[in-house]
Amino acid sequence: MSNNFKPLLLGALAMTMIACNQTNPLLEQPKTPYGVPAFDQVKIEHYLPAFEEAIRQNKAEIDAIVNNEAEPTFENTIVALDRAGMLLDRVQGVFFNVLEADGNDEMNEIAEKVSPMLSELGDGIILNDALFQRVKAVYDQRNNLGLNAEQMRLVTETYKAFANNGANLPQDKKERLKEINMELGLLSLKFGNNVVAETNNCKYFVTDEAQLKGLPESAKAAAAEEAAAAGHPGEWLFTPKRTSFTPVLQYCENRELRKQLLMDYTTRGNHDNENDNKAVIIREMELRIEKAKLFGYDNPADYILADCMAKNHQTVDAFLQSVWAPSLAAAKREAAELQKMMDAEKMAQTPHTDDQVLLQPWDWWYYAEKLRKAKYALDEEEIKPYFELSNVRKGAFGVATKLYGLQFEPLKDMPVYNKEVEVFKVTDADGSLVGILYTDYFPRAGKRPGAWMNNILNQYVDAEGVDHRPVIINVGNFNKPTAGNPSLLSMDDVETLFHEFGHALHGLLSKAHYKSLSGTNTPRDFVELPSQFMENYAYEPEVLKTYAFHYRTGEVIPDSLIAKINAAGKFNQGFVTTELLSASILDMDFHELTTAEGLDVNAFEKASLDKMGMIPEIIVRYRPTFYNHIFTTGYEAGYYSYTWAAVLDADAFAAFKETGNLFEPETAKRFRHLLEQGGTRDAQELYIEFRGKEADPKNLLRRKGFID
């Protein structure tokens, strides 16, 4: 998932002093290689003074635009606004990345102080009528200014940013909007903090190794190390982190343990305690509905979607239903097959009983793994030794080299916020700098769950024509190395690494002139195309042979295993797609609400799942109380984007397949051009320019095995 922060409000870097007269590294131009942040010098006490100074400077820059006595022009208003807030960009780029990947209680407290300050600043800019009038003056005469396509896009998007965020509202509604935005910012922080607290507070210790029968030795070793670190040597610790509980769901014979850990994961934020998120959700929905109605929309979905490719909730609903029907039908067939396996197993154990044990969500992964092994002789534990983390990363890098000519050089002794972070210099085929890439792949107490890409520094071209190359980060939560093994990835983990690297390439290859249009600053239902496109390469035979080496022997993955992986490529896709689509539909149901009066979160979830016909053997991928995408990270009414973009990525990859060459140079050149454009062009126009036509949804359904 791409996770650009909410508008990183825009000014020149400066040097200042914090109250104790010590230099604040966040407010200096870093004396570091490639101008990366001086993470190693930043201390907790630097953040709040840095935010205060950066906000002060940003306000001064806005005042300078407003008070300019010259007539509004593209340069003195639109470009000046885009270039304002550079210092704040840098401060936010450090703080929020560290908060999400290596945070602590002190940083959470700072975030709670800073959130209303940033909300107030953002509203003070967007709702500044004098500023808007200057923007509108340029917008109104845009067709007579001789602007090129990117400049025209900047004018249009800047005007829309103001209009869509309240600039045209009457004063009383502007004041109410400020209050709503401030409260929503705090609620978003609270929701995310609650999920992290629930995840960290839930620890399940196993004292009898017999309870772990079937669990791979590597998973047991990791759980034993976690228990020892928690002060329980000789035991095994499991948590609601995916790297911890997923092996149990797949392999452990202990059905009660599987149930316990899945319930721990899926009930986070739903325990009626101090970390419960139900009241947070209700309040967020009340405010989102009120905000939508301020702008004349009946529901939040239509307000949010107006600036996306889909445009409205009817389009999204129809799209989701078109994929939901074949997905659910496939999931039902898969459930019947798993139930048959369960019945046969029970009959073998107790042949004289007629009592049927019904398939439950905590059984699906376990029997699916058994069925995969039976049908394809594919055991993920047999494959994982070939997926050592650094080799998989090299494989992803290698795809970018073959497609775009990029080179990746590890940089030592670079400033980082945690010793587990690694840094790479990315250069083009001609040796020119493309950007800097940080990777941070292991779970820790202060890191939020999941995987994501972020900009630390944006790409843009300054007034002197200097192209400032971006600094990008990929973050994950993969298995940590143990005393006996390196970090070995599951097949899902491999896809995740390729996915987030696709987002990174979108940011790294950016060639926009203006920061607000660069990199991943695109519509949300387009931004997942580059990431999901990269997933297609992960298991292609010619790619696997470049990175899948056995971590002990160095042996390249044998053709027999590659054949099994690809033969099983369409296995369990009904489950995978149904789990994802149900979360997308649930998201839309929440954001199509016209009132939150009487909203009961658990009852609403059940009604939504019942309406869509969700089968009881599958739990929705994200239940509401830990659904960070839509209640914390800005993907509300947007989770459908993953499936929308999947149609695009399947069609885009088909363009390469049709040539008979996965790295066909001319096709790769056209796709790189699409990545370089960022948000400088209309997304649909960009895609049609690459492909020569609109995306065909049948390529996705065919890839999943739903149609021939």
Neighbours of 416 (CB within 10 A): 17
Q: Which of 611, 636, 661 is the last residue of a domain?
A: 636
> Terminal CA-to-CA distance of the chain, rounded, Å?
30
Q: Write out pLDDT tens, residues 325-358.
A: 999 999 999 999 999 999 999 888 887 777 889 9
* One domain, residues 465 and 422: yes
129 is a domain residue:
yes
Nearest CA to 449 out of 677, 699, 193 is that of 193
Work out the mean pLDDT of the chain and round it to a whole number.
94
- Report the share of the chain in percent with pLDDT over 70: 97
Residue 22, pLDDT score: 63
In a domain, 11, yes or no: no
Buried (b) or exposed (e) across 31-61, using 16+ Cβ within 10 A? eeeebbbebebbeeebbbbbbbbbbebbbeb
Q: Angle at Cα 383 formed by Cα 381 and Cα 388, nearest 5°?
A: 100
Instruction: Indicate whether 440 and 503 sit together in one domain.
Output: yes
Instruction: With respect to residue 488, please indicate whether it lies within any of the assigned structural domains.
Output: yes
- The answer to whether residues 102 and 115 belong to one domain is yes
Q: Give the C-alpha separation, 676 to 679, whole Å.
A: 9
DSSP state of 17: B
- For residue 323, tell me if it sits in a domain: yes
Q: What is the CATH number of the domain that holds 449?
A: 1.10.1370.40
> Residues 539, 663: one domain?
yes
Shared domain for 311 and 353, answered yes or no, is: yes
What is the mean predicted confidence (pLDDT) over 552-568? 95
Question: Residues 232, 292: one domain?
Answer: no
State the total domains in the chain: 4
Dump pLDDT digits (tens) for 66-114. Answer: 999 999 999 999 999 999 999 999 999 999 999 999 999 999 999 999 9
pTM of the model: 0.88
Residue 14 predicted with pLDDT over 50: no
Query: Which residues contact residue 527 at a Cβ distance below 8 angstroms, ignoring those fewer than 6 apart?
Result: 2, 503, 506, 520, 641, 645
Claim to verify: residue 447 and residue 563 sit in the same structural domain: yes
Q: Distance between CA 240 and CA 238 in Å, rounded?
A: 7
- Residue 112 bears catalytic tag: no
Task: Pick the catalytic residue from 500, 579, 605, 617.
Answer: 500
Phi then psi dihedrals of residue 622, to 5 deg: -130, 110
pLDDT at 6: 35
**Residue type (1 letter), 546:** T
Given its phi and psi angles, is residue 681 left (phi above 0), alpha (psi -120 to 50 degrees) or beta? beta
The answer on 404 and 338 residing in a single domain is no
pLDDT bin (cut points 50, 70, 90) of residue 1 is: low
What gap in Å lies between CA 558 and CA 19, rounded to an integer? 62
Within its chain, how far is the Cα of 532 from the centroid?
A: 11
2: pLDDT strictly greater than 80? no
What are the tens digits of pLDDT across the range 629-649? 999 988 999 999 999 999 999
Given this model, what pLDDT does residue 15 score? Answer: 33
Whether 194 is covered by a domain: the verdict is: no
For residue range 39-78, list pLDDT tens digits in order. Answer: 999 999 999 999 999 999 999 999 999 999 999 999 999 9
- Write out pLDDT tens, residues 503-515: 999 999 999 999 9
Q: How far is Cα 25 from Cα 345, in angstroms, rounded to an integer?
A: 63
How far is residue 321 from each of residues 316, 330, 588, 610, measured CA to CA in Å?
Answer: 9, 14, 12, 14
454 within 8 A of 3, measured Cβ to Cβ? yes
Q: Is the pLDDT of residue 443 over 90?
A: yes
**Percent with pLDDT over 90 in the chain:** 92
How many angstroms separate the Cα of 295 from the Cα of each of 129, 165, 170, 300? 17, 8, 11, 10
For 616, the domain range is 277-378+568-636
Determine the distance from the C-alpha atom of residue 84 to the mean position of all C-alpha atoms in its chain, rounded to a whole number: 27
Q: Are residues 254 and 306 in the same domain?
A: no
Residue 289 has a CB neighbour count (10 Å cut-off) of 22
Last residue of a domain, one of 606, 636, 666: 636
Regarding whether 598 and 666 lie in a shared domain, the answer is no
| pLDDT digits 0-9 by tens, 469-488 | 999 999 999 999 988 899 99
Query: Does residue 120 sit within a domain?
Result: yes
Report the DSSP beta bridge partners of residue 410. 424
d(CA 516, CA 158): 9
**End position of a domain, from candidates 266, 292, 314:** 266
How many angstroms separate the CA atoms of 47 and 496, rounded? 31
**CA–CA gap between residue 442 and residue 371 (Å, rounded):** 30
655 within 8 A of 667, measured Cβ to Cβ: yes
Helices of type H across 450-540: 491-508, 524-527, 529-535
pLDDT tens per residue across span 244-269: 999 999 999 999 999 999 999 999 99
Confidence of residue 9 (pLDDT cuts 50, 70, 90): very low
Specify whether 518 is located in the same domain as 648: yes
Residues 307 and 262 in one domain: no
Residue 186 lies in a domain: no
